[in-house]
Chain A
Amino acid sequence: MQVPAKFEYERADSVPHAIELLERYGPDARIVAGGHSLIPMMKLRLAQPEALIDINGLAELGRIAVEGDELAIGALVRHAELLDSTTATNLFPIFRDAERVIADPIVRNRGTVGGSLCQGDPSEDLSAVFSALRATAVIQGPGGTRTVPLREFHRGPYETAVAENELLIQLRVPIAPGTGSAYEKVERRVGDWPVAATGAVITVRDGVIAQAGIGLTAVGAEHFCAPEAEEFLRGKAPGEETFAEAARIAAEHCEPHADQRGPADFKRHLAGELTKRALTRANLNVAGSATDPNVAGSATDPNVAGSATEGRI
């Protein structure tokens, strides 16, 4: 029987209360929300916090809303809630693509957006998604809130910018007209970590790519992104050859490691291929472009924004 070691348990009734508890218990306290990374680690003694601070009661951290020109996603939003949020998935189909393949539906009922990011696993999907989206993390501590670009959030494997007495409270995603997004993942089976996965976000203005975001996970890309490939795309017209070259640059940027999920060259190949596919699909769901007869796929593709997924669980 796997059971965690003993710990003190505290329930936070507000964000300031959670921070006060973090300060009281010090570095050996951990925040718990969904618990689907932390509790298994505690069973295996990979984590042995002296205190758990439960933030599941903080409803104010569970909201998804458009605020000005940003989409705000609370840290306590469950994966299943993000998948179900048409506000989020209509603006950014990348959320639907990614959330459908994160863990499994029952784990998604419990696991949270903030927890996934704070776990800081180098194979985590949402880290690549929010990196591609150039999101900002809002972190609250004893002195108030501060913001950190998602691309500076991860300091290394399992290390983040969140200090011991701070709490990640929200992610903010910039909304720009003419933006399309998609996520592509190869996994061995439902619920597994990716062998490799790529997220692509492009903003097209006047027929050229004004900004591109490429997120990569499980392939050793620093900060979960591919800046050289993004730079290559800027100012170019979207198209097959351009995407193929960006994918090649992104694959080169990766430093995958061989493990039970496959050899390094296979993962590098996947990184390139998935980048190409994600860019192609992102381009298809750029607002207004899906009706372009010159674009392959078209709006009848069930994977493209806005169709055929209502009612799924």
Chain B
Amino acid sequence: MRITVTVNGQPHTREVEPRLLLVHFLRDELSLTGTHWGCDTSNCGVCTVQLDGVPVKSCTVLAVMADGHEVTTVEGLERDGELDAVQKGFVECHGLQCGFCTPGMLLTARALLDRVPDPDEGQIREAISGQLCRCTGYENIVRSIRWAAEASQKVAESEARQ
């Protein structure tokens, strides 16, 4: 079946089998290996990407279901050579150890901040509650997302003053 999926702003057309999962479409067809592939059972959340701006577990979405839709992966967070605030937060606050859960965490964090710009710790913990960090580094992940929220607030305030 012929599908066109817009990934990180770029349309990609491929001939795929209906049974191809979105995670494998991204990794194997488009070579976007930033999206990781974990438990295969929609538990661990490392395969999380945004589908039309909403975080989904791409091991449980068929590629054909993304036909005509927009997907954002970790490769799409950077803008004009500058890391997204959530990526900077993970750098600043040591938000990753092995890095396996990181891309999924970043996309969930981005979607959370788009909706709730100033989340408290409870809201952050709830937002990432469908994702596992096998290094158990949750404390720093929460701090990283808070850092991103505060940094974005500061940018917004300084822009408002100008």
Task: Answer yes or no: are A and B bound together in one complex.
Answer: yes
Contact of A106 among B41, B45, B64, B119 (CB under 8 A): B45
Chain A residues numbered 94-130 whose CB sits less than 8 Å from any CB in chain B: 103-107, 109-110
Report if A6 contacts B (CB, 8 A): yes
- Whether B19 lies near A40 (C-beta < 8 A) is no
Complex CA gap A54/B67 in Å reads 12
Report if A43 contacts B (CB, 8 A): yes
Mask for A270-313, Cβ within 8 A of B = 1, else 0? 00000000000000000000000000000000000000000111
Q: Which residues of B contact A52 (CB under 8 A)?
A: 18, 62
Q: Which residues of A contact B57 (CB under 8 A)?
A: 36, 106-107, 110
Q: Which residues of B contact A103 (CB under 8 A)?
A: 130
Query: Secondary structure at chain A's binding surface: helix, strand, loop or mixed?
Result: loop
A32 to B: closest C-beta gap in Å: 8
- Whether A106 lies near B131 (C-beta < 8 A) is yes
Complex CA gap A166/B119 in Å reads 43
Q: Which residues of A contact B127 (CB under 8 A)?
A: 105, 313
Q: Given the known inter-chain contacts A36-B60, A39-B60, A311-B123, please indicate yes or no for A106 contacting B130, CB distance below 8 A.
A: yes
- Chain B's closest residue to A9 (CB) is B18
Q: Which residues of A contact B55 (CB under 8 A)?
A: 105-106, 109
Report if B151 contacts A (CB, 8 A): no
Q: Which residues of A contact B130 (CB under 8 A)?
A: 103-107, 190-191
- Whether A35 lies near B19 (C-beta < 8 A) is no
Report if A59 contacts B (CB, 8 A): no
Mask for A1-16, Cβ within 8 A of B = 1, else 0? 1111111110000000
Complex CA gap A173/B24 in Å reads 40
Of the candidate stretches B4-12, B108-116, B135-143, the one touching chain A is: B108-116
- Whether B126 lies near A312 (C-beta < 8 A) is yes
Mask for A134-156, Cβ within 8 A of B = 1, else 0? 00000000000000000000000
- Chain B's closest residue to A104 (CB) is B130
A200 to B: closest C-beta gap in Å: 24
Complex CA gap A32/B61 in Å reads 11
A300 to B: closest C-beta gap in Å: 18
Mask for A148-192, Cβ within 8 A of B = 1, else 0? 000000000000000000000000000000000000000000110
- Whether A110 lies near B56 (C-beta < 8 A) is yes
Complex CA gap A43/B41 in Å reads 9
Complex CA gap A311/B118 in Å reads 10
A-B contacts besides A1-B24, A5-B19, A313-B112, 6 pairs, CB < 8 Å: A80-B54, A103-B130, A106-B56, A110-B61, A312-B123, A313-B123
User: Can you list 29 A-B contacts with CB-CB less than 8 angstroms, sorted by A residue number?
Assistant: A1-B24, A1-B40, A2-B40, A3-B21, A4-B19, A6-B18, A7-B19, A8-B18, A9-B1, A9-B62, A32-B62, A35-B60, A35-B61, A39-B61, A40-B42, A54-B64, A103-B130, A104-B131, A106-B48, A106-B55, A106-B130, A106-B131, A109-B56, A110-B57, A110-B61, A191-B130, A311-B123, A313-B123, A313-B126
Q: Hey, which bits of chain B sit against chain A, CB under 8 A?
A: 1, 17-19, 21, 24, 40-43, 45, 48, 54-57, 60-62, 64-65, 108, 112, 115-116, 119, 123, 126-127, 129-131
Q: Hey, which bits of chain A sit against chain B, CB under 8 A?
A: 1-9, 32, 35-36, 39-40, 43, 52, 54, 56, 80, 103-107, 109-110, 190-191, 311-313
* A-B residue pairs, 3 tightest by C-beta: A104-B130, A9-B18, A106-B130
